[in-house]
Homo-oligomer: A and B are copies of this chain.
Amino acid sequence: MSNETRPVDPAKCHLLLNHGPVTLVSAAFHGRRNVMAASWVMPLDFDPPKVAAVIDGRGFTRELIDASGEFALSVPFRRIARKVLAAGSISGREGDKFVHAGLATFPASVIGAPLVRDCAAWLECKVIPEKRLQRRYDLFVAEVVAAWADPAVFSGGRWHFPDTARKTIHYQAGGAFFATGGPFDCAEG
């Protein structure tokens, strides 16, 4: 299982997160790396594109983000939902969580954090230092320095999911998700 990646115009990369999918947040520093599942992620600005993300202060991913000033967001396909749940449940301090969760990776273009395979889209992010915000709320503001999507599911600024396995997913709680559902257009008719 793999997929193709095509660059997304930075001014359009908010479209990758607008519908509120769950994400995988990955980070790396000095040969160590980790990944966590996160639903508390949203676009923050269009141009230059920014995101806001809540990153738990006790986690190993947070430690790597604090050290590197970078993180990647990967928007997983439904077909790896079980691995997303694993990434949200186990700790990365005692081994490589990507390996433990069975998540394959590939290199980012600008940042050091790895991107996760079998995802619909990817955003490479550089943290904008807002120390007080990070300390007080675990809230990170970051600029998106590169963005990618699988053209099988996103092109021309729109999502078009070809099958169930390659839908994006939304987290409820306790292992329960929703797939992204039927599209409809209120502007058209």
Total identical chains: 2
Interface contact B45-A42, CB-CB below 8 Å: no
Between A50, A141, A173, the greatest number of chain B beta carbons within 10 A of the residue's beta carbon is seen for: A173
Give how many A residues have a beta carbon under 8 Å from the other chain's beta carbons: 49
Interface contact B182-A178, CB-CB below 8 Å: yes
- Known contacts A43-B40, A137-B141, A139-B44; A174 and B187 CB within 8 A of each other: yes
Interface contact A181-B182, CB-CB below 8 Å: yes
Interface contact A172-B54, CB-CB below 8 Å: no
In the complex, identify which listed stretch (A14-22, A58-66, A91-99, A119-127) lies at the interface while the others stay far away: A14-22
* Nearest opposing residue in chain B for A173, CB measure: B15
A11 cross-chain contacts in B, Cβ below 8 A: none
Q: Once bound together, how far apart are the Cα atoms of A44 and B171, in whole Å? A: 15
